[in-house]
Structure 1
Amino acid sequence: MASGSPSKYMSTSKEYPLHLHGWLRIHKDGRCERFIGNDIIPTGTDPITGVQSKDVIISHQSNLFVRLYIPKTIVDIPNRKFPTLMYYHGGGFLTESAASSTYHPTLNLITAESNVIAVSVNYRLAPEYHIPVAYEDSWEAIKWVATHVKGNGPESWLNAHADLQNVFFAGDSAGANIAHNMAIRVGLNQVKVVNLKGVIMIHPYFGGREFIGEESKHEQHKAFMNQMWLLANRLGIGLDDPLYNPVMDPCVSAFGCSKILLCVGGRDKLRGRALLYKELMETCGWKGFIELMESKGEGHVFFLSNTSCENARILRKKICNFINSISSKI
């Protein structure tokens, strides 16, 4: 993009080589200044849901941590074990955290309503830690959870309450991208790491070099999405990297479980990519079933900013039903 070229999404200047409006800007000295996802919500007992949370550092070398959530029902049924939900936050690989006000309230609600043990992964962000760091951190968290399968891992909450025969991955936007790629890695791994039962992909952040569907009507938005990817993955192979464009992944049929819940927003500009993903999974040779849920009239990750709206409640109910219908068959 030429300096000063008009776009409601991004711009460049001598002072700021890249400014993603409302998200971040890169200073000429290389420093990244973020405008969203910087606030930290403390852990504890949520007064609305009764869910308890705490942060656990799983790698002191990288300061990688997860935020754990346990439902109030543990008090009533102390010996029961609950399905384990690993959640990956969104933010384009560039912003947000597992501890921000964007995600903490929603994770409390999902934990309470679905009766799960939630493990929200605070992977490191680009551009300081460019891809593949986010994926490697996410995989490290999966392996850490797996150390609790015999009930003798380092974290007491997981030892006592996590049903690791029923593990689910979930995420929104970039987090859904991570969930997909982690499921591929589970499927390709020769040693069974976790017993993955299902993956919940909410408004996934996928893309590609070529225009598809209605993307040509939203050229500036597509350019913005692609620029985010290129900033996060500056050492990658570009816009048709299989991590970003799963159509280009020869290993996609290795997806490591047989159930996917794919959630899309009716007004989300990434909806077309999600529908293409559904078509891909149905035709690639993967031996599984992908279920589509559409929130009519809703934009990208609407459920995070308006947790009490009817469509957000319906979405969380669908997540609950998906998890518990699969878990109950064990």
Structure 2
Amino acid sequence: MASGDAPSSMAPAAGEAAAPDQDEVVREFGPLLRVYKSGRLERPLDAPPVAPGLDAATGVDSKDVHLGDYSARLYLPLAAAARDGKLPIIVYVHGGGFVAESAASPNYHRFLNLLAAACPAVGVSVEYRLAPEHPLPAAYDDCLSALGWVLSAADPWVSAHGDLGRVFLAGDSAGANICHHLAMHHPEVPVPRLRGAVLIHPWFWGSEAVGGETRDPADRARGAGLWMYVCPGTTGMDDPRMNPMAPGAPGLERLAFDRVMVCAAEVDFLRWRGRAYAEAVAAVRGEAAVELLETEGEDHVFYLFKPECDKAKEMLDRMVAFVNAGTA
């Protein structure tokens, strides 16, 4: 059935017009997802996917590997792979509120090419199942499986060019949330700990405000609306998957990385959560284990939409320095 067709149970009889209220929007979550009464879904932010292959601007080759419920797009900087021996591995998890975007989205594909070339590193961008077709924990499960697959070195690019002793996680927004989950549920495989994680504008929330967040209960509930929708089995805003600092949440000493870099943006309403997370990790790991980058005057995931701006380049440079500082 095409995405714009009505389900068969709602299809009009011959000669009848479709019920006008079937095109009524019943749920809308910003530019990420629009849900119609008919069950039809729209993802306005999503751009047509781009194919993998050699990127002439960066010299990075890419390919897709299909792994059942999920897939991965791998990135290999060819010149560095030919001369530099084993490279660090960056497992990247895209954002999109668990409901939108893709590893094949133009913005993510461009960023992974830039990141893989700049480090240089083997990049693995995870294509996980999206809600609401696949409610959480599907995305968490897919990304955990993908991390285990990377660490098994089953792919020739990973086995030939990747250093399993220098594995990093990175992700933005919901993808940064997933990276925290991966670090808390590190698969039992015979490899060293993850060297580090980069959480870009992480999507965390909670019932109690932190920093400059709104204190209004109605606004706080609206801020959690998408979370409640994508995770029908959640315990609420203080579910440890959404609020790692909630009372009773597993201790952050369990995190399976040595260091973390947290990126926050001044205009992003999630900036206070990112800062609070960095402070909470520093409290159990020490200040030296945490790096906080706060970008003035920018909003959520600005670097994806303005990759040529100076602040996006600064963020990329800081990520590269973070990875290379952890590869000695």
- Shorter-chain TM band: 0.7 to 0.9
- For 2:111 and 2:217, the matched residues in 1 are separated by 31
Equivalent AA in structure 2 for residue 289 of structure 1: A
The count of aligned residue pairs is 304
The reply on whether 1:29 has 2:34 as its aligned counterpart is no
The answer as to whether partners of 1:179 and 1:199 remain within 8 angstroms in 2 is yes
Specify every segment of 5 or more residues in structure 1 that has no aligned partner in the other structure, as ranges.
1-12
- Equivalent residue number for residue 7 of structure 1: none
The answer as to whether partners of 2:26 and 2:37 remain within 8 angstroms in 1 is yes
Secondary structure of 2:185 counterpart: helix
String of CA shifts for 1:205-236, please: whole Å, max 9, x gaps. 00012233322289887555411111111221
Secondary structure of 1:327 counterpart: coil
- For 1:168 and 1:75, the matched residues in 2 are separated by 18
In the TM superposition, what are the counterparts of 1:125-144 in structure 2 within 5 Å?
125-144=130-149
- Equivalent residue number for residue 202 of structure 1: 200
- Equivalent residue number for residue 113 of structure 1: 118
In the TM superposition, what are the counterparts of 1:87-126 in structure 2 within 5 Å?
87-126=92-131
- Equivalent residue number for residue 65 of structure 1: 71
Aligned-residue offset at 1:192: 4.3
Q: Residue 213 of structure 1 is aligned with which of 211, 230, 236?
A: 211
Q: Residue 17 of structure 1 is aligned with which of 26, 48, 52?
A: 26
- Equivalent residue number for residue 247 of structure 1: 245
The answer as to whether partners of 1:69 and 1:119 remain within 8 angstroms in 2 is yes
Percent identity between the two aligned chains? 38
String of CA shifts for 1:116-153, please: whole Å, max 9, x gaps. 000000111111111111100000001111211xxxx2
Query: Normalising by the residue count of structure 1, what TM-score does the alignment of the two structures yield?
Result: 0.86
String of CA shifts for 1:15-68, please: whole Å, max 9, x gaps. 222112322211113332211224201111112111101100122xx2x11000
Structure 1 runs of 4+ with >6 Å offset? 217-221
Secondary structure of 2:326 counterpart: helix
The answer as to whether partners of 2:207 and 2:220 remain within 8 angstroms in 1 is no
The answer as to whether partners of 1:83 and 1:327 remain within 8 angstroms in 2 is yes
The reply on whether 1:296 has 2:296 as its aligned counterpart is yes
Aligned-residue offset at 1:301: 0.6
- Worse-superposed segment, 88-97 or 23-32: 23-32
- Worse-superposed segment, 271-280 or 25-34: 25-34
Secondary structure of 1:246 counterpart: coil
Secondary structure of 1:142 counterpart: helix
- For 1:37 and 1:14, the matched residues in 2 are separated by 20
The answer as to whether partners of 2:207 and 2:237 remain within 8 angstroms in 1 is yes
Equivalent AA in structure 2 for residue 173 of structure 1: S
Equivalent AA in structure 1 for residue 24 of structure 2: E
Aligned-residue offset at 1:70: 0.6
**Aligned-residue CA RMSD in angstroms?**
2.1
Which one has the largest radius of gyration?
Answer: 2
Secondary structure of 1:17 counterpart: strand
- For 1:93 and 1:275, the matched residues in 2 are separated by 22
Secondary structure of 1:120 counterpart: strand
Secondary structure of 1:215 counterpart: coil
- Equivalent residue number for residue 311 of structure 1: 311
The answer as to whether partners of 1:184 and 1:251 remain within 8 angstroms in 2 is no
- For 2:217 and 2:110, the matched residues in 1 are separated by 33
Query: Normalising by the residue count of structure 2, what TM-score does the alignment of the two structures yield?
Result: 0.87
- Worse-superposed segment, 31-40 or 164-173: 31-40
Equivalent AA in structure 1 for residue 168 of structure 2: F
Specify every segment of 5 or more residues in structure 2 that has no aligned partner in the other structure, as ranges.
1-21
Secondary structure of 1:145 counterpart: helix
Secondary structure of 1:67 counterpart: strand
